[in-house]
Amino acid sequence: MQKVPTMVMLTITCTMMLLMLPEAYATRWTVGGNMGWNTNFNYTTWAKGKHFYKDDWLFFVYDRNQMNVLEVNKTDYESCNSDHALHNWTTGAGRDVVPLNVTRNYYFISGKGFCYGGMKIAVHVENLPPPPKAAPIKSGTTTTLTVSSMSQIVLLPVVFAIGTAWDAFIHIW
Ligand SMILES: *[C@@H]1O[C@H](CO)[C@@H](O)[C@H](O)[C@H]1NC(C)=O
Ligand SMILES: *[C@@H]1O[C@H](CO)[C@@H](O)[C@H](O)[C@H]1NC(C)=O
Ligand SMILES: *[C@@H]1O[C@H](CO)[C@@H](O)[C@H](O)[C@H]1NC(C)=O
Ligand SMILES: *[C@@H]1O[C@H](CO)[C@@H](O)[C@H](O)[C@H]1NC(C)=O
């Protein structure tokens, strides 16, 4: 009788954590959204208001026959100088993934003259903030809908138990 809610709670908690972890951990940003890495686009405007967290990725999608992806320092970003790139992220496929694995400023430009046309982006990478305490309760509520065969009387304590378990989890880690 007592084993069942414990199992349900464990299952729900594990599922919830599996669902939350990739979301909480990393975002793969397609640079420029639908426009991709292209001319006639302002990447400063695109990056504005976005939060780039450590271990996110930048995904550059572009015409491999024309553009490329070069990481440069601030000076060379500002002057569009591709003569001494810090890292050449160009693989040749026109689809390059850059891991933002250090909390710092990153600067990317396209060589071959495209930087002057605006193909340049600066991103500030921050540490991931701790998960908000409200999130597990929201997930618990969503789970309630999927396990609709169970009575509210059983589920309500389970939802609260998840919250408590999560709090304990937060405090342990
Ligand atoms: C960027 O690199 C260039 C050439 O190596 C150097 O002259 C310049 O001072 C560097 N700028 C920064 C901000 O480090
Ligand atoms: C960057 O690397 C690609 C693939 O290896 C290469 O074709 C290209 O010439 C390199 N570009 C620069 C500017 O080093
Ligand atoms: C970040 O990623 C780059 C490229 O994959 C790698 O060379 C570097 O060692 C990584 N740095 C850290 C701190 O993980
Ligand atoms: C992008 O827009 C900003 C203002 O939001 C402006 O300061 C900047 O010069 C523009 N960049 C380019 C490459 O046009």
pTM higher than 0.95 = no
The secondary structure of residue 148, as a DSSP letter, is T
Same domain, 39 and 68: yes
Q: What distance in angstroms lies between residue 21's CA and the mean position of ligand 2's atoms?
A: 35
Ligand 1 binding pocket includes 105 (Cβ within 6 Å): no
6-14 contacts: CB < 8 A, separation 24 or more?
8/147, 8/150, 8/158, 9/158, 9/161, 9/162, 9/165, 12/140, 12/143, 12/147, 12/158, 12/162, 13/162, 13/165, 13/166
Q: Which residue, judged by its Cα, is nearest atom 4 of ligand 2?
A: 91
The predicted pLDDT at position 13 comes to: 55
Same domain, 9 and 47: no
Question: Best substitution site from 75, 80, 84, 107 to test ligand 1's pocket, by max atoms within 8 Å of Cβ?
Answer: 75
Same domain, 65 and 111: yes
pLDDT digits (tens, 9 = 90+) for 18-72: 555 545 679 999 999 999 999 999 999 999 999 999 999 999 999 999 999 999 9
pLDDT digits (tens, 9 = 90+) for 146-160: 444 444 444 444 444
Same domain, 56 and 97: yes
Domain that holds residue 45: 31-126
Same domain, 17 and 73: no
